[in-house]
A and B are shown apart, each in its own frame.
Chain A
Amino acid sequence: MRRKGMPIDKEISEKRKRQCLKLVEISKDIVRQAFDRFRPEELGITWTGGKDSGLTLWIIHQVCQDKGISLPKTMIIGEGDEFEEIEQFVERTKKEWNVPLEICRNEDVLKAANNTLNASIEVKALNERNRAELQRIGFEDDEFPFEAESYVGNHLMKTVVFNQFLERNKIKGIFQGLRWDEHPARFNDEYFEHKEGEYLAPDHTRIRPILHFTEKDLWDTYAAFQIPYCVLYERGYRSLGARTTSQISVEGIPAWEQDLENTEERVGRRQDKEKAMERMRKLGYM
Chain B
Amino acid sequence: MVEVISTGCQRGIPGNVEMPLGVERLPNGNTLITDAGDEAGFGSEIVEVDPLGNIVWNYHEGLRFAHTGRRLRNGNTLITDTTNNRLVELTPDKKIVMNSDHWSGGTGQLSDGSHLHYPNEAFEMEDGTFLLTDRNNDRCIQVDREGKVLWSFGGKELHHPHNANPLQNGNILISDSDGNRILEINRRQEVVWSYGDGSTQILWWPRGAIRLENGNTVITDSKNHRIIEVSPAGKVLWRFQTEHVDKFYITHATKEATFLIACTDGHHQVIEVDRTGNIVWLFRNYRRPVSIYARLTNGFFKEIGENGWPKHWVLATRLSEGGGSVVWDQDHKPNPCPGLEYDRSGALFLQQSLMVTPGATYRVGAEIKTASAKGTACLHLDFFDSHGGSLYHAITEMPSGNLFTGTNDWTHDMFETKVPIRTTFAELRLYINDSGKVFIRNVMMNRI
Contact = CB atoms under 8 A, between A and B. Distances in A.
A185 B446 contact: no
Interface residues of A, number: 35
Contacts of A272: 403, 405
Given A141-B442, A283-B395, A286-B347, 14 more contacts: A138-B445, A141-B334, A149-B412, A151-B444, A152-B442, A154-B365, A155-B446, A185-B415, A185-B418, A198-B447, A270-B402, A272-B405, A285-B207, A285-B222
Nearest to A275: B405
Contact of B444 (A138, A273, A277, A286): A138
A281 interface: yes
Interface of A: 136-142, 147, 149-152, 154-155, 159, 184-185, 188-189, 198, 268-270, 272-273, 276-277, 279-286
B297 to A, nearest CB: 9
A137 B414 CA distance: 13
B402 A283 contact: no
Nearest to A151: B365
A281 to B, nearest CB: 6
Given A151-B363, A159-B448, A185 B399 contact: yes
B442 A285 contact: no
Interface in B351-398: 363, 365-367, 375-376, 378, 394-396
A139 B300 CA distance: 8
A4 B249 CA distance: 61
Contacts of B416: 185
B346 interface: yes
B412 A138 contact: no
B404 A150 contact: no
Contact of B300 (A140, A189, A284): A140
Contacts of B363: 151, 154-155
23 contacts: A136-B446, A138-B295, A138-B444, A140-B299, A141-B300, A141-B334, A150-B367, A151-B366, A151-B412, A159-B448, A185-B416, A198-B447, A268-B402, A273-B403, A276-B403, A279-B375, A280-B396, A283-B346, A283-B347, A284-B347, A285-B222, A286-B347, A286-B395
Contact of B247 (A138, A159, A189, A285): A285
A155 B405 CA distance: 27
Contacts of B442: 139, 141, 151-152
A140 B302 contact: yes
A50 B418 CA distance: 24
Nearest to B443: A138
B264 interface: yes
B404 A269 contact: yes
B299 A138 contact: yes
Given A268-B402, A270-B402, A270-B403, A147 B412 contact: yes
Contacts of A284: 319, 346-347
Contacts of B299: 138, 140
A284 B405 CA distance: 20
A64 B85 CA distance: 72
Contacts of A269: 402-404, 411
Contact of B412 (A136, A150, A277): A150
